[in-house]
């Protein structure tokens, strides 16, 4: 443990004698010490009815910038066009009767890999990744959520009218949206589990 508060800085003024002492200390780990910009006691800021001085610490805690990796949005892929291009590209790779050695196998795999990635680059769009994105979220859920929100506002504006049909419409929309969310999550989870089993 390290002490960012400089040596000799008093942190208390005894009420009876007026002596300056240092019963209060500030400790931190060695790794965190480099982040401190300043650490000091301020007797002039002492609130009434206390003899301890406030200790003010300033640390530079700017987090490192996160590198956002590019991902492909496989759901928006036109699979018919992808399949056509893949078939055309695969015709350009010569068929092998057999492989003479490891080098030929590696060359064939690299050629196949290059063809697939050319097709991916052409037909699979990049997606904008949000740190809060959910794999199961889709446009249909967004539309349902928006409709539910509008009905919620309508129901709230009719809160003084207990028999208003807006309340029942909102209740149904809320329940439908909740059920759709559960289905989407469960479906995404089952697809993931099936991929693992394969």
Per-residue pLDDT reduced to its tens digit, 10-68: 999 888 888 899 998 899 999 888 888 999 999 888 877 788 999 999 989 887 777 77
Q: Which of 54-63, 90-99, 161-170, 188-197 has the highest mean pLDDT?
A: 161-170
Which pLDDT score is estimated for 181? 94
Which residues have a Cβ under 8 Å from the Cβ of 91 and sit 6 or more positions away?
none
Dihedral sign from CA coordinates of 33, 34, 35, 40: positive
Which pLDDT score is estimated for 80? 94
Per-residue pLDDT reduced to its tens digit, 152-174: 999 999 999 999 999 999 999 99
SS3 88: helix
Per-residue pLDDT reduced to its tens digit, 111-158: 899 999 999 999 999 887 666 777 788 889 999 999 999 999 999 999
pTM above 0.85, yes or no: no
Give the span between the Cα atoms of 113 and 97, in whole angstroms: 19
Q: Which two tokens stand for residue 18?
A: 């007026």
- Hey, where are the domains in the chain? 12-59, 70-130, 134-198
Which residues have a Cβ under 8 Å from the Cβ of 96 and sit 6 or more positions away?
104, 108
Q: What's the mean pLDDT in 97-118?
A: 86
- Cα–Cα–Cα angle for 168, 181, 176, nearest 5°? 20
Which pLDDT score is estimated for 93? 81
Question: Residue 188 in contact with residue 135, Cβ under 8 Å?
Answer: yes
């Amino acid at each position: 443990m390290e002490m960012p508060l400089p040596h000799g800085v008093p942190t208390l003024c005894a009420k009876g004698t007026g002596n300056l002492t240092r019963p209060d200390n500030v400790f931190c780990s060695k790794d965190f010490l480099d982040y401190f910009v300043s650490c000091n006691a301020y007797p002039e800021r002492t609130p009434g009815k206390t003899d301890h001085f406030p200790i003010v610490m300033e640390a530079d805690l700017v987090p490192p910038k996160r590198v956002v990796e590019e991902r492909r949005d496989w759901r928006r892929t036109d699979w018919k066009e992808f399949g056509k291009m893949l078939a055309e590209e695969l015709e350009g790779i010569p068929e092998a009767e057999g492989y003479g050695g490891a080098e030929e196998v590696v060359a064939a795999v690299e050629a196949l890999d290059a063809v697939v990635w050319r097709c991916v680059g052409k037909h699979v769009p990049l997606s904008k990744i949000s740190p809060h994105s959910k794999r199961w979220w889709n446009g249909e859920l967004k539309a349902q959520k928006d409709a539910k929100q509008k009905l919620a506002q309508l129901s709230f504006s009719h809160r003084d009218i207990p028999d208003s049909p807006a309340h029942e419409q909102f209740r149904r929309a809320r329940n439908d949206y909740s059920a759709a969310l559960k289905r989407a999550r469960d479906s995404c989870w089952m697809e993931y589990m099936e991929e693992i089993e394969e």
